[in-house]
Amino acid sequence: MVAFAVVVLLLGAVFNIVAWPQFLRRVAKDPRATDASGRRTRFYTVHLVLVTIALVLAALSVVAAVLLLVG
């Protein structure tokens, strides 16, 4: 059961690490990401926060997987 939990945690982390940065690149290219002055908009900021949360959760998943393997 521990091995299954480790695999699930690591697969989730890999998915987040691969998928979310690509998504943020697409958001950055979106016209809604900047205003007429070239400054970042709330559209970009909200998505940046979402990506940051997803990557933090990915890091926590890796830590949890390692702790399960060690403990």
Query: For residues 54 and 16, is the Cβ–Cβ distance under 8 A?
Result: yes
Please tell me the predicted confidence (pLDDT) of residue 71.
Answer: 85
**pLDDT beneath 50, residues of the chain:** none
Nearest to 32 by CA among 19, 22, 24, 42: 42
What's residue 57's pLDDT? 98
What CA–CA distance (Å, rounded) separates 65 from 71?
10
CA 47, CA 27: separation in Å to the nearest integer? 7
**Residue 3 confidence (pLDDT):** 96
pLDDT, position 30: 98
Q: Where are the domains of the chain?
A: 2-70
The pLDDT value recorded for residue 31 is 97
